[in-house]
Amino acid sequence: MKHLLFIILALSSIQLSAQQKQFSKDDNGKFIYYQVVDSQLVSKDTLLQRAKSFVNAAYKKSMTQETVTDSSILAKGTIVIDKTILVAGHPSGEVSYNFVFEVRNGKYRFWLTDLLFIPYQRDRYGNFVATTKIGVPLERTPGKLSAGAWKDILNSAYNKIEKFGDDFKKYLATNRVEKAKKKAETISTKKW
């Protein structure tokens, strides 16, 4: 009975460790999150317009558009990485990235690359701020002392970037029309 319990625990721990997802590497050895999506129902111009709207409206606080052509968009952005201990959590840093979107008739692709981690620390007012402006590439191998913390940062970064990719695909798949802002209606108290 003891041996059976030990075998079940060993198999479940192996199965849990195998489920952790990791970044792929590009030709230069850098981490990359790359997706190709088939989109036969939506035209090229519509996809490009929705991608511009995503960068400039939906993620305007964390992304800035760099260049736009007739079939691609290049932007830079950041994602905040959280550190959770039991119930309480706080930001441990941010990952800056380059976002590239290319579209053709019937399909599009996007990728996030040049991932740099910038650690946070508390300032004298209790706010979490960046310790430096120079980022550490996520590809670097950590030392023995910080290997566990670096693994947590990589897992959290992958989960956040995967969620970003899912949000982007959903945004391009749905028909969103930007609403025109209404003028503030003036109310007259003299006519009633």
Over range 69-87, report the average pLDDT: 85
Give the residues across from 31 on adjacent strands: 25
Percent of the chain whose predicted confidence (pLDDT) is above 70: 81
Amino acid at 49: Q
Q: Which of 165 and 149 is assigned the larger pLDDT?
A: 165
Token pair of 65 as six digits: 């558009």
Where are the chain's structural domains?
Answer: 23-173
Mean pLDDT, range 95-119, rounded to an integer:
92
- Whether residue 186 is predicted with pLDDT greater than 50 in this model: the reply is yes
Q: How confident is the model at residue 179 (pLDDT cuts 50, 70, 90)?
A: low
Q: CB 7: neighbour CB atoms within 10 A?
A: 10
Residue 100 confidence (pLDDT) above 90: yes
CATH number given to 23-173: 3.30.530.80
DSSP assignment, residue 126? S
Percent of all residues in the chain with a pLDDT value above 90, rounded to a whole number: 24
What's the rounded mean pLDDT across residues 107-132?
90
Taking the C-alpha atoms of residue 77 and residue 123, their distance in angstroms, rounded to an integer, is 23
Note the pTM of the prediction, 2 decimals: 0.74
Tokens 């309480």 belong to which residue? 88
| pLDDT higher at 9 or 153 | 153
Residue 58 confidence (pLDDT): 85
Looking at the chain, the number of H-run helices and the number of E-run strands are: 3, 8
- List the beta strands (DSSP E) in 23-105: 24-25, 31-38, 63-68, 72-85, 88-104
Q: Residue 16: its pLDDT value, please? A: 47
Res 7 pLDDT > 70: no
Q: Residue 191 above 80 pLDDT?
A: no
The backbone torsions φ and ψ at residue 175, rounded to the nearest 5 degrees and listed phi first, read: -90, 105
Nearest to 111 by CA among 33, 30, 22, 28: 33
49-58, 95-104, 179-188: which has the minimum mean pLDDT? Answer: 179-188
Residue 183 pLDDT > 80, yes or no? Answer: no
